[in-house]
Amino acid sequence: MPASSLNSASLALSYGHAEAGLVEHSGGVTVALANPVLDGPADETWVRLAAGGSRHGSLTLWHGDDGSRWGAASVVVEPGSLAAAAERVYREIFQAQGHLTLQRIWNYIPRINAPCGGHGQDRYQAFCGGRARALQASGRDGAGMPAASAMGTPGDVLTVLFVAGTDPVRHVENPRQLPAHRYPARYGPHPPSFARASLVSRPDGARRLYLSGTASIRGSESLHPGDVVAQLSVALENADLVARAAGLTGGLGAGGPGARRLRLYLRRAEDWPTVRPMLDAHLPRAGDWLSVIEADICRPELLVEIEACVDTA
Ligand code: 3EB
């Protein structure tokens, strides 16, 4: 293949599709999700690919042209097998990871709030159980995991996207939230495992902050059930605290124009006009990239979650 067409191949996370799946095409690969787009771009291009994908079990793996490694699974979950599907995907991620460091993981969990297994558990908790078993099987504890998001998605497909690399990564916590792997058992028998953010340092001194899905949680408790405006305010505060804890002076506002990409997830599409003025007030800069996606949040009382990627020189 001529270098020019290799250079144009890219990996994008893309919302608003009739069906979820990995779509390889002449322009690269699209990780397609069925969540509706409420505003802003439907696609987020993450990296230019240096080569075509290779298979590893349920994963497809790619090399980014910047040395990063990307992998994705998009698997149909048969009834009753969400935990097993999550365990399989995570076991394969840990195998594929080799000597690389995980930087960021996105999880899209079909019908995330639906009951599961009849012991008062829901599907998010089942997903956490499968992920916990894979962690245990690979001899890890939850403490070393990178930034992540775990969102609901319509249909029956579990989608997991991750990026790993050789650059140094510092995982960051929020001083006002309990680390997720230490959540008490009332949020589920197997706590989630992710860092609030992961800061990647490039050889040229540039840094990238991957900010996890961030909700209205303090300590381990959900604040302001049912109040989307108050929830967004806490989520934005949390995001800012984490960005500052990562050393970004200026918090979530760090970096020059175009340095920040932000995604807002809303459980209820009708809340977008309500919260839009708040976001406009928090994102006053030209060049800010904002995508608004309809998605269920992992706890039923939560209505909004934000995630971000901030590049600084
Ligand atoms: C929270 O703070 C909200 O299970 O990987 C955010 C990011 C959330 C990642 C995960 C869950 C996850 O607990 C939920």
- Digitized pLDDT (tens) for each residue of the chain, 313 residues in all: 444 444 579 999 999 999 999 999 989 999 999 999 999 999 999 999 998 899 999 999 999 999 999 999 999 999 999 999 999 999 999 999 999 999 999 999 999 999 998 888 999 999 999 999 999 999 998 889 999 999 999 999 999 999 999 999 999 999 999 999 999 999 999 999 999 999 999 999 999 999 999 999 999 999 999 999 999 999 999 999 999 999 998 888 887 777 899 999 999 999 999 999 998 887 767 668 999 999 999 999 999 999 999 999 8
Q: Which of 173, 294, 305, 307 is catalytic?
A: 305
Helix ranges (DSSP H) in the chain:
3-8, 82-97, 123-137, 228-245, 272-282
- Residue 237 annotated among the catalytic residues of the structure: no
Q: Provide CB contacts within 8 A for 48, sequence distance 6+.
A: 7, 8, 9, 10, 28, 64, 65, 66
pLDDT value of residue 284: 62
How many Å separate Cα 217 from the centre of its chain?
A: 17
The dihedral through the CA atoms of 69, 165, 237, 224 has a sign that is: positive
Contact call for residues 33 and 17 (beta carbons, < 8 A): yes
Contact call for residues 13 and 33 (beta carbons, < 8 A): yes
pLDDT value of residue 193: 96
- 100-112 CB burial, b ≥16 within 10 A, e <16: bbbbbbbbbbbbb
How remote is the CA of residue 110 from the centroid of ligand 1, in Å? 15
State how far the Cα of 283 lies from the Cα of 38, in Å rounded to an integer: 17
Residues with CB under 6 A from ligand 1: 107, 148-150, 180, 192, 194, 212-213, 215, 217, 298
pLDDT value of residue 6: 47
How remote is the CA of residue 156 from the centroid of ligand 1, in Å? 20
pLDDT value of residue 3: 42
Distances (CA, A) of 287 to 35, 260, 273, 311: 24, 8, 21, 13
How remote is the CA of residue 114 from the centroid of ligand 1, in Å? 17
State how far the Cα of 212 lies from the Cα of 307, in Å rounded to an integer: 5
The beta-strand segments (E) located in 15-68 are 21-25, 28-32, 37-39, 43-48, 54-56, 59-63
How many Å separate Cα 82 from the centre of its chain?
A: 18
Residue indicated by tokens 């040395």: 67
pLDDT value of residue 251: 87
Phi first, then psi: give them for residue 221, nearest 5 degrees: -100, 140
Which atom, in ligand 1's list, is nearest to the CA of 305? Answer: 3
Contact call for residues 130 and 90 (beta carbons, < 8 A): yes
Phi-psi region at 246: left, alpha or beta (left = phi > 0; alpha = psi -120 to 50)? alpha
How remote is the CA of residue 127 from the centroid of ligand 1, in Å? 11
Tokens of 158: 């579990």
Which atom, in ligand 1's list, is nearest to the CA of 187? Answer: 13
pLDDT value of residue 258: 75
State how far the Cα of 72 lies from the Cα of 31, in Å rounded to an integer: 8
Q: What is the reported pTM?
A: 0.96
Contact call for residues 228 and 193 (beta carbons, < 8 A): no
Q: Ligand 1: which residue has its CA nearest to atom 11?
A: 150
